[in-house]
Amino acid sequence: MLFRCTNCFGNVVYSPETGKMFCPYCSGTDTQETLAVPNTVNCVNCSGEIQVNDFTSATKCAYCGSYMIFDERVNGTFTPHLIMPFKLGKERVKEIMRKEFGKKLFAPDDFLSEVKLSTMEGMYVPFWMYDFDTHYNFQGRGTKVRSWRRGNTQYTETTYYNVLRDMDASFEKIPVDASYAMEDSTMDLLEPYNYTALEQFQEKYMSGFFSERYNYTAEQLEPRASAKAQNDTEALMQKTLGGYATMVPVSKNMNVTRKATQYALLPVWTYIYKYNNQLYPFQINGQTGKVVGNVPISKKKAVAYTATTAVVWLAIGLLIKGILGGF
Amino acid sequence: MRNYWKHFRIPFIIMIVLALVFGGITIFKGSKEVKRTNDEPGEQRVFDYADVLSDSEEKKLEKLIAKKQKQLGGDIVLMTIEQRLQDESDDYEYPEYYYSEANLDLAEDIYDALSFGYDVPGGNGFIYLDNYYEQEDSYQYSSIFASGECYHEFTDSEMDDVIADTNDDVEDDPYDAYCDMINQSVREMSKGGIDIPVLPIIVIVAIITIVFYARHGSKAKAKKTTAANTYIANNAPRMNQVQDIAYDKKVVTRRIESSSGGRSGGGSRSGGGSRGGRSGRR
Ligand SMILES: [Zn+2]
Ligand SMILES: [Zn+2]
């Protein structure tokens, strides 16, 4: 689908700032009509050749800059159940990046330059969201130690406990990214999203952004989600076992039941900065603005700043010594 | 580079201001002269009765002393002697210090007898009395006696340092050793401020530098912002059973050895008035 302006035939995109469809060419609001995008070979606007991989579901034409959504990749089994529309626009994310890294003095000069930051693109990343019920029965032996002193005698009292726990936990929408290109650990760090902003899938939210359909099925990714549920359940159990000096488990039984899965698209901004022939990817949560990425370090700057810091403060220290000492 | 100047603006300004203060104090101190008000002792300050200095060396020392006296506002007297100190240790309060005390007393007597004192006879100044006679304990003794303001400015440990440093060099080159003695004494007395050791400054600067580097060079990707209960309905699991049943108890006792107290001993001496000094052996 391609959203075209009925006034000027420009490409209408979704504006995170206003939550409305916007034509950047004539500044019109909600002026769109839709064109079908039946194949992934040619741009429906300019007929230019389009570069896509097997999973691309929305992209930007390299020739005319139109954003289009490939109908066959958002329909049928590929229809997302839910979408979280971008809440932060590009300008807002630039501000966030400048605030987050502006004080990193060792970063290369153009790391936060307008030109480089403008290369940022927003992408809807495919996620599977799992609902799980976990049941955990725990039995263990614990000790508590109390120590006191009377006269010249030290008393140490050890009490032995049978510790019994039984817990039910209902997990809702544990997210697991279904994109091969997105690094799992990075996607995990972008969490959490505020799910109240999830909506029924609508294609219009995708206009102006890149997207992929899921690269893996829900079954393929279930082990990762299940592991998350089990780790969290274990951590919650540990919280109830405080106050013991030692704890030896006697029996642990955890059952995990998958209840439901949903296919969702979540908003992620990506900024890829190239420095010394190395790529430094930054991912920004398109809803909360949380940034995940490693800042590149300019060795020249690091040496200059660190050496100056040492020299200046040493000079200040010695001058203070000289003045106070009356030499 | 613009960021560089911006970042170091404040430390640079602090550094420049301190450098100006430091320079100002240095010039002020160098130009300061104290007028003398007591002419009784005459001109001579170097009395080389032990004959360890040449005539020209004595003259040069006199010149140095004349210059330093104005800066110090106190008389500077150097006397070398070869004199046996009477052993009256039985009468003395601290027999083991007898010779050094006797040499110091001698220094005080000489200072008073010759009416030294920059402001008034017996006033500001100090005398360095170097006794080359090998006493019965086979040591030679050197003493500094300081009077008036100089007594307050010249601390015991500073005097000890001056005597020790002078004794180290005096055998090889007495002239050089005495020059150093005069310079060092005046320097110690005109310090008057707080002496900050260099090591803590270096440690603090090292910490500042490490913290600075860690802050700006840190490579942490991001912190985890989810908790174990993030995806749980109502943020809390349901607890069906929470039971902690005590079934056994053991008490272990242990005797504690009573610790013995330490002993502290030793004594200290203090002198009264604005007069006093230190002696050292060599
Ligand atoms: Zn338009
Ligand atoms: Zn095109």
Report pLDDT for B59: 94
* Helix A299-325 × helix B2-31 angle, to 10°: 20
Surface-to-core class of residue A192, CB atoms within 10 Å of its CB (0-12 exposed, 13-18 middle, 19+ buried)? middle
Sorted by where each begins, the domain ranges of chain A are 1-73, 126-296, 297-327
**Alpha-carbon torsion (B18, B22, B23, B27), positive or negative:** positive
Task: Evaluate if residue B267 carries a pLDDT over 60.
Answer: no
8 Å CB contact between A261 and A128: yes
Question: A236–B233: do the CB atoms touch at under 8 Å?
Answer: no
Give the bridge partners for A161, in sequence order.
Answer: A142, B246
Nearest CA to A280 among A301, A299, A268, A296? A296
Mean pLDDT, range B207-212, rounded to an integer: 93
Task: Evaluate if residue B260 carries a pLDDT over 80.
Answer: no
Q: Is the pLDDT higher at A164 or at A109?
A: A164
What are phi and psi for residue B266, nearest 5 degrees?
A: 100, 165
Candidate from A19-28, B31-40, B171-180, B246-255 with smallest mean pLDDT: B31-40
Report the alpha-carbon angle A202-A208-A214, nearest 5: 55
How far apart, in Å, are the Cα atoms of A89 and each of A4, A109, B140? 20, 24, 89
Tens of pLDDT along B218-238? 777 788 899 988 999 888 899
Task: Answer yes or no: pTM beyond 0.80.
Answer: no
Note the helical H segments in chain A: 90-101, 114-117, 184-190, 218-239, 299-325
Tens of pLDDT along A35-47? 998 877 889 889 8
Task: Evaluate if residue B88 carries a pLDDT over 70.
Answer: no
Report pLDDT for A313: 93
Report the alpha-carbon angle B127-B131-B133, nearest 5: 170
8 Å CB contact between A128 and A78: no
8 Å CB contact between B147 and B99: no
Task: Evaluate if residue B262 carries a pLDDT over 60.
Answer: no
Report pLDDT for A176: 96
Q: How far apart are CA B250 and CA A144, in angstroms?
A: 11
Taking all residues of chain B, what is their mean pLDDT, rounded to a whole number? Answer: 84
Could you tell me if A255 lies within 8 Å of chain B, comparing CB atoms? no
Return the DSSP state at A4: E
**Among A162, A167, A321, whose Cβ lies nearest the Cβ of B196?**
A321
Report pLDDT for B272: 34
What's the topology of domain B38-193?
Diaminopimelate Epimerase; Chain A, domain 1 (3.10.310)
Q: How far apart are CA B60 and CA B75, in angstroms?
A: 16
Q: Is the pLDDT higher at A224 or at A40?
A: A224
Rounded to the nearest angstrom, the distance between the alpha carbon of A211 and the centre of ligand 2 is 17
Report pLDDT for A228: 95
Report pLDDT for B134: 87
Return the DSSP state at A207: T
Task: Evaluate if residue B97 carries a pLDDT over 70.
Answer: yes
Report pLDDT for B266: 31
Report the alpha-carbon angle B43-B48-B50, nearest 5: 160
Nearest ligand, measured from the Cα of A2 = 2
User: Which pLDDT band, with edges at 50, 70 and 90, does A199 fall under?
Assistant: very high
Task: Evaluate if residue A327 carries a pLDDT over 60.
Answer: no
Question: B196–A312: do the CB atoms touch at under 8 Å?
Answer: no
Report pLDDT for B235: 82
Nearest CA to A96 among A294, A288, A298? A288
Rounded to the nearest angstrom, the distance between the alpha carbon of A63 and the centre of ligand 1 is 19
Question: A153–B217: do the CB atoms touch at under 8 Å?
Answer: no
Tens of pLDDT along B60-86? 999 999 988 988 889 999 999 999 887
Return the DSSP state at A72: G
Sorted by where each begins, the domain ranges of chain B are 38-193
Task: Evaluate if residue A19 carries a pLDDT over 80.
Answer: yes
Report pLDDT for B261: 40
